Amino acid sequence: MNEMFFGPRQATLRRVTQQRLLSEFAQWGYDEISTSLLQQLDPAQLTDRQWERACKWFGHAGRIHALRTDMTLSILQALIKQPADNFPERVCYVGSVVRQASAADSAPSEILQAGVELMGYGGVWADAEVLALAARSLESLGVSGLRIGIGQASFQRGLFSELQLPASAATVLQQALAARDLVSYRDIASSFDGSTRQALGTLPDLLGGPEVLQHASKLAQGLEVTNALQNLQDVYKLLSSYHLEHLVYFDLGMVRDFSYYSGSIFEAFLPGLGRPVLTGGRYDELLEVIGVNTPATGFAINLDLVVSSLGSPEQRNIASYSLLASSSHELQCFKLADTLRQKGLLAAVDYRPISIENKALSAQSRGFIPVLVDEAGCWQLSKEGEKLCKLVID
Amino acid sequence: MQTGNRLTIALPKGRLLTKCLELLQSAGIDTGNVSEDSRKLIFSLADNGTRFVLMRPTDVPVYVEQGAADLGITGKDVLLESRLDVYELLDLRFGVCRFVLAAPAAMQDPVSWPATPRVATKFPRIAGDYLQNRSISARLIKVHGATELAPNVGMADMIVDIVSTGKTLAENNLVVLDEIMQSSARLIGNRASLPLKNARIKPILAALDALINGRER
């Protein structure tokens, strides 16, 4: 098991980060929703990969139960059970998914995700909104060095069909791209002749700024390819109007692990993390599979990966008192704590049977002001346990 | 953690290292004083912010997947066995070896095989995939070295192993029953480094590709 533990400060930072993201999502009109961690699986609705990575077991009457492996899927499955006129446009969430590792000898892992889904309309407005929200929400966390890569599933599909590749070759090429195996990809590509070979060979190199779209337009001129490139061009223009274009690059060889993406696909990186902190895209086809005929776009942020780049958690910013109870003054401490809390301060009593000096030291190390209560009143102590001054609480 | 624009390249210790350094140098890539002679594992080039780190070949994809190294060189066999999420960028065409199914000569005809042959191997995933694709039901026995010993002491009926000359097999009275695949050294890359450090990686990739494949990018 890949167990997770978050100590006192980390857990707070994790919670604060979720709240910041949710409040950014809310500012864009996305309503928070929540789905169950327990899911019922229908193998017919899943790709092989989704099926493999679900942690699943058999229940009553041969039903297959699983832990949630994918937020988008779970949200859509919940939403289609709602009355049609209740189908929302913009939703956001924070939730964990549990995934079986692809390697047989590794343990499943739990990933906390925060994300959005924009449903009901597609096209360049939806793509630009979701991409801009992805950028703004990560930037609201104060990260630096953010880069967002945009690809187009329909560009590849259009290119492959225009090159009249046999369906089997197109599948193998896509599998090689999805596995990031450019050696096999180029081997297969070089089995073709002339311009086909040239076009296929160029695809993985289409990575960079808007000039990439110019190069790409020379490879094929069919309708699907032209529309895909126009979509990227338009999205770039819209992001420029939010002054986000410097964060964006294009990657036309990008293939998402999920086969349900149909249009634009994207992933965001932060320096030093090695993996994407955010992935997303358009997934109209997924909706068709589960029986909804509406376009949809969304993204999911790997919350703990982002949190790991945020630096040290914040200290408590309200006055915090640790009341050091000696054996004869526990009741006074118990009552004083309540008085302090009523005033909006933070108070905890240390009842442990250890010396006052040790209690004072421990209070200091956790960011508390040590306070001793005795016959003469309340005293603020130094970390060595010496009385500094009398504490007056009115 | 990687900072700034520094490029970290993971190289395999052992038999592949000399070839790696030769190849990088002939492609015009400065490798400084990287060598296995000292006990040093990290070699930084002061001038252009490149750093080489040495490790076991099986650890190369681990460092690259985690982003501790941007690029790395290791064998295809290691990649297939680890199945980690890294870019496989170039076939470097050295360190060539073959994966084979081998057994004592008496087992050359499948009719002589036991119902469920025991197969000893250092590469359970490669062997497992191969046996499954061929619909051979077998029991895998994982060993860590000297695989050819297993059939000779009766622990296994056959082996899946890498061979380069075939000499070791012959010395242990084993014959090749089937060729599984070929392996060679690969240049691999981290998923985030490719876009984030493209300006540093692209020239290296282009120089190696031109040298090996005569391909212009």
This complex has an ipTM of 0.85
A10 vs A1, A79, A172, A278, CA distance in Å? Answer: 21, 33, 44, 21
CA B217 – CA B198 distance, rounded (Å): 14
B95 contacts: CB under 8 Å, gap ≥ 6: B15, B16, B19, B75, B183, B184, B185
Tell me how close the Cα of A181 comes to any Cα of chain B, in angstroms: 5
Reported as a single tens digit per residue, the pLDDT across A268-283 is: 999 989 899 999 998 8
Which residues of A fall within a CB distance of 8 Å from B2? Answer: 271-272, 274
A316 contacts: CB under 8 Å, gap ≥ 6: A346, A367
Average pLDDT, chain B: 90
Question: Does residue A114 or residue B41 have the better pLDDT?
Answer: A114
Statement: residue B217 has pLDDT above 80: no
Query: What are B215's two structure tokens?
Result: 């391909």
Residues, chain B: 217
B200 contacts: CB under 8 Å, gap ≥ 6: B5, B7, B70
Residues from B contacting A (CB-CB < 8 Å) are 1-4, 65-68, 82-83, 85-91, 125, 186, 190-196, 198, 217
Tell me how close the Cα of B108 comes to any Cα of chain A, in angstroms: 31
Average pLDDT (A171-185) is 91
Average pLDDT (B28-37) is 86
CB contact under 8 A, B186 and A183: yes
pTM of the model: 0.86
B135 contacts: CB under 8 Å, gap ≥ 6: none
CB contact under 8 A, A274 and B66: yes
> In this structure, is the dihedral angle defined by the CA atoms of residues B101, B107, B111 and B116, taken in order, positive or negative?
negative
Average pLDDT (A341-362) is 89
Using DSSP, state whether B32 is helix, strand or coil: coil
Give the pLDDT of residue A231.
94
Statement: residue A204 has pLDDT above 60: yes
